[in-house]
């Protein structure tokens, strides 16, 4: 009987200690998160770094020619295909199975079996993604939904969203914060042209 009650007592102590400990851990974890939470400025910096190394400029920034070849024109950074530009004529014989796909010299317009796609305006302007919520951005980047809307069309090549779906949440939100901090550039990028609509454009 004595052994029995000692066992109960020990058990009770153990439970009390464990719950005490749990409480403590939870508290210190919480306070650690609070201390380590990145500031907006840190997020923007990290986002800029990610945008630089992932190379969003390749398709979203018009280029300017230098003695080292074409480089992103940072005055027009991330504005997408400039609405004031036009595409060179596209001959129907250049397209088709086994033929080339094409892009303009700026690397902001792309012609292929999917039709014609244009690097989007991803600056903080309202004609870009300035009015987008983070959830919209996430849906576009990881589910390939145009404008980040559930019912919209799929985002076309060569936007590599299948790779971006592997971005971790904190990296994705850092990229979002950086894009929201960019200089707004007003530019309504032409609408994507699906293959049937291309017929009237080809010569």
In sequence order, the 6+-apart residues with CB closer than 8 A to the CB of 158 are: 59, 110, 117
CA distance 106 to 73: 10
Report 64-123 residues binding ligand HEC (CB under 6 A).
110, 117, 119-120, 122
| 102, 126, 154, 181, 190 from 187: Cα distances, Å | 23, 9, 21, 17, 9
Q: First vs last Cα of the chain: how many Å apart?
A: 99
Least distance in angstroms from the C-beta of 140 to ligand HEC: 4
Nearer to ligand HEC, 1 or 53 (CB): 53
Regarding 43 and contact with ligand HEC (CB under 6 A), the answer is no
Interaction mask 3-42, ligand HEC, x per CB under 6 A? ----------------------------------------
CA distance 172 to 134: 9
Taking a C-beta distance cutoff of 8 angstroms, is the pair 67, 195 a contact? no
Least distance in angstroms from the C-beta of 12 to ligand HEC: 56
Q: Which two tokens stand for residue 162?
A: 């299948």
Q: Which of 38, 49, 58, 87 binds ligand HEC (CB under 6 A)?
A: 58
- Which residues in this chain contact ligand HEC in the complex, by CB under 6 A? 51, 54-56, 58-60, 110, 117, 119-120, 122, 129, 140-141, 146-147, 155-156, 158-160, 175, 192
């Amino acid at each position: 009987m004595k052994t029995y009650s000692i066992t109960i007592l020990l058990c009770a102590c153990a439970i009390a200690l464990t719950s005490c400990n749990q409480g403590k851990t939870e508290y210190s974890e919480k306070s650690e998160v609070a201390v380590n939470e990145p500031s907006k400025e840190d997020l923007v910096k990290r986002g800029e770094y990610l945008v630089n190394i992932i190379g969003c400029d390749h398709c979203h920034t018009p280029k300017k020619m230098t003695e080292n070849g074409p480089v992103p024109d940072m005055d027009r950074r991330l504005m997408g295909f400039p609405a004031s530009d036009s595409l060179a004529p596209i001959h129907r014989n250049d397209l088709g199975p086994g033929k080339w796909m094409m892009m303009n010299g700026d690397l902001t317009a792309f012609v292929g079996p999917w039709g014609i796609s244009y690097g989007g305006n991803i600056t903080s302007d309202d004609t870009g993604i300035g009015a987008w919520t983070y959830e919209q951005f996430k849906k576009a980047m990881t589910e390939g939904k145009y404008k980040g809307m559930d019912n919209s069309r799929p985002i076309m090549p060569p936007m590599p969203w299948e790779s971006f779906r592997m971005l971790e949440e904190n990296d994705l939100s850092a990229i979002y914060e950086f894009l929201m901090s960019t200089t707004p550039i007003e530019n309504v990028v032409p609408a994507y042209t699906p293959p049937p609509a291309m017929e009237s454009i080809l010569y």
